[in-house]
Structure 1
Amino acid sequence: MQIGVVDLFCGVGGLSLGFKNEGFDVIAGVDSDVTCQYAYETNIGADFLGMDITRLSGAKIGRIFESRENDYRVLIGCAPCTPFSLYSGRYRKARRADNKWALLTEFSRIARLTKPDVISMENVPQLTRHKVFQAFIEEIENSGYHVTFQRVRADHYGVPQRRSRLVLIASRFGKVTLPSPTHLNRPLTVRDAIGNLPTIKAGEPCRGDRLHVTRRLTPTNMKRLQSTVEGGSWRDWDSDLQLACHKKIGGESFRSVYGRMSWDSPSPVITTQCLGIGNGRFGHPEQDRAISIREAALLQTFPKSFRFVAPKDPIRSD
């Protein structure tokens, strides 16, 4: 049995890679960020379409599916979650208006027009609070699908990261039950993921791995990190190192800022700002630096063999 997959909002191909590793025939990925093309095509071995999904027709996706002789068709994707995420500083504004909200509607439009056998989507759990999600469910159900969605913990399924995700599966064949947790009693940890990497200094790349590089630190931030214990935060500092916001009554809300990770626990949620210690608990557990690009990728479960950039392309950590 052959199952063909098309990935909307594919990025560099993390979701596609999971399907590929499980034996699915990943045919193509679609994303408006053309800088993802090298990584996607190199690692997934599938075509990359660099285009805005709002300009994507159902007929085009239909032709992509038809280009391969598969028994079943699966449409997957993760619409950009920034408008719904509590980690976004734009969250409250996004509740009122953000054109990215329309991307979920575009996902359902493509699904309705192409009629795949199965639809698989993931996003942030906060999405379920919004009318756009309910409209998505209704349109999919009205198109003949049985919809199952559930909030899951990534660390319960072998991801060394405390991350909650909304997973949705819609099938024409009946209700789908999500697999039971595989790592409920023994989650993978930061040590499991990055504990064997070479020691590096802030701002200095590893000779054997150019992705194992992190940002330089100012002298003050170096002192702050040196004053932070494993698993600790700015609460470990002397008052002269603390920021003004930490000394305010509301400073308690900045619990993880400038924090270090713990070796024997899953990491915090890896965000697009994870290379800076001032953006969360992104300090290395013991080395005086933020986590590197390589470490961030490993904590996201990208294999070390994954090629993110062409050999001659520069690597930037800032």
Structure 2
Amino acid sequence: MQPAPASISAVDLFCGAGGLSQGLQDAGISVVGGVDIEASCAYAFESNIDAPFIERDVRELTAEHLEPLWIPGSIRMLAGCAPCQPFSPYRRGVDTSGEEQWPLLREFARLVRDINPELVTMENVPRIGTSAVFLEFVRDLEELGYFVDWKSCYGPRFGLPQHRRRLVLLASRLGPVEVPDGALDESSYRTVRDVIGSLPKLASGETDPVDPLHVARNLSPLNLRRIAASLPGGTWQDWPEELLSPCHRKSSGSSFKNVYARMEWDKPSPTITTLSGNFGAGRFGHPEQDRSITLREAALLQGFPPGYKLVRRDTRVNQTQVARLIGNAVPPPIAAEVGRAAVAHVAAFDRVE
């Protein structure tokens, strides 16, 4: 069946577990394929997005690999989030110039040049916005005839229940285009309570028999005492002296207050990282229960819909691997707003035509 004139089909580069694709689909965009070098992403992407997963290094990807995927007659979108570890705020002060992930944005630009899609969108950490490789990417798009807009987007304004900022770029060969700002104000932000407050209660080490992703890591006796002494929104400075670790007693560690801490029920969560199940790696303690958050809770706070499939039911859950899939994902609510902006942009172009 031929699509309507304004339909958009998208290929998701560096697709991971499908967060960007989920958001684009929520906006009415047809995701026709995802590409990633990590085989561990295949099940999540294909099970939830219902599109083919291509396990391939983007540096070896060509326009010919993607050509059969596009819906004939549709507006083509090339989307993606190049791995952002070299630009992460958690690595300030680290020299990352020699890391192989730096050139991946140039590979994205190469594919744009070879495919010449009508639309391009990419997402990354805000810090990349001042980097030479990103500014080069923007110049490449402009030289290819794209109208380009990009900005730092604050997650709660887009319905993401998480204090997270992401840089979002949207480019079009059809005409000027704008990245949305997000429509919600502080009084309407979704909170930790909104998205995980109704989940079954668990103790440390317990698993929900219905949902294998709702599993609480087993805390050591010392960390159980620490989380019991932790207040929502507080820090390890609330603990009695005997619970402090040696690093907390040093001046070099005294400023790291957002570790070994609980979330707050009625605020968005902190940034969900690849270590979000680790009580000692951030403010990842449950607001009320004496445990760290579960993989399902992390996925919900990252904006994935309830029931999003990340592991096969007949396989053992690899907590480290699944936490990486969740933490590295593009938050679907942000992607959905960008997708809706793209759909409206194409619809407006069609009306002008």
Give the conservation status (yes or no) of the 8 Å contact 2:82–2:124.
Answer: yes
SS of match in other structure, 2:171: strand
Question: C-alpha displacement at 1:175, in angstroms?
Answer: 2.1
Say which structure, 1 or 2, has more relative contact order (CA 8 Å, 6+ apart).
2
Shift of 1:140: 1.1
Correspondence 1:25-44 to 2 at 5 A: 25-44=30-49
Separation in 1, partners of 2:217, 2:95 = 30
Aligned to 1:187: 189
Alpha-carbon distance between aligned partners in 2 of 1:121 and 1:189, rounded to the nearest angstrom: 26
The corresponding residue for 1:13 is 18
In structure 2, distance between residues paired with 1:84 and 1:252: 25
Shift of 1:210: 1.2
Note the aligned Cα RMSD (angstroms). 1.3
Q: Distance in 1 between matches of 2:203 and 2:180?
A: 41
Superposition map of 1:222-233 within 5 A: 222-233=224-235
Helix, strand or coil at the partner of 1:100: coil
Q: Counterpart in 1 of 2:270?
A: 268
Q: Which amino acid aligns with 1:285?
A: P
Counterpart residue identity of residue 287, structure 2: P
Secondary structure, counterpart of 1:61 in structure 2:
helix
1:202 to 201, 204, 207: 204
**Is the Cα contact below 8 Å between 2:247 and 2:254 reproduced in 1?**
no
TM-score under structure 1 length normalisation? 0.95
Which secondary structure does the structure 1 equivalent of 2:23 belong to?
helix
Question: Aligned runs of 1:100-139 on 2, under 5 Å?
Answer: 100-139=101-140
1:52 is aligned to 57
| SS in structure 2 at match of 1:249 | coil
Is 194-203 or 17-26 further displaced after alignment? 17-26
Q: Which residue identity is paired with 1:104?
A: L
CA distance in 1, matches of 2:32, 2:318: 30
1:25 to partner: Cα distance: 1.2
> For the Cα contact (< 8 Å) 1:4–1:26, is it kept in 2?
yes
Corresponding residue number in structure 2 for 1:278: 280
> Could you tell me which of 238, 243, 253 is aligned with 1:236?
238
Equivalent residue, structure 2, for 1:97: 98
Residue 170 in structure 1 maps to residue 171 in structure 2: yes
Cα separation, 2, equivalents of 1:232 and 1:105: 42
Tell me which of 77, 82, 90 is aligned to 2:80: 77
Q: Which residue of 2 aligns with 1:22?
A: 27
Describe the superposition over 1:71-121 as per-residue Cα deviations: whole angstroms up to 9, x where unpaired.
2100100011111001248x6131x31101111111111111100001001
Give percent identity, aligned residues only: 44
Superposition deviation, residue 163 in structure 1: 0.2
Give structure 2 stretches of 5+ with no counterpart: 1-5, 321-353
Give the partner amino acid of 2:141: I
Where does residue 314 of structure 2 map in the other structure?
312
Q: Which amino acid aligns with 2:75?
A: Y
Name the aligned partner's letter for residue 179 of structure 1. Answer: P
What secondary structure, in the 3-state scheme, does the structure 2 residue paired with 1:92 have? coil
Please list the CA deviations of residues 122-163 of structure 1 after superposition, one character each: whole Å capped at 9, or x if unmatched: 100000121111111111111111110001101111000000
SS at 1:246 equivalent:
helix
Which ranges of structure 1 fall in alignment gaps of 5 or more residues?
Answer: none
Which of structure 1's runs of 4+ aligned residues deviate more than 4 A?
none
**What is the distance in 2 between the residues matched to 1:176 and 1:253?**
42
- SS of the residue corresponding to residue 102 of structure 2 reads helix
Does the CA-based 8 Å contact 1:214-1:317 persist in structure 2?
no
Q: In the alignment, which residue of structure 2 is the partner of 1:153?
A: 154
Equivalences, count: 314
Pairwise CA distance, 1:249: 2.1
Distance (Å, rounded) in 2 between the aligned partners of 1:106 and 1:178: 23
| 1:194 partner letter | I
TM-aligned CA deviation for residue 180 of structure 1 = 3.7
The answer as to whether partners of 1:157 and 1:184 remain within 8 angstroms in 2 is: no
Q: Distance in 2 between matches of 1:71 and 1:210?
A: 39
Are residues 1:218 and 2:220 paired? yes
Helix, strand or coil: the match of 1:169?
strand
Structure 2 match to 1:251: 253
Partner residue, 1:144: 145
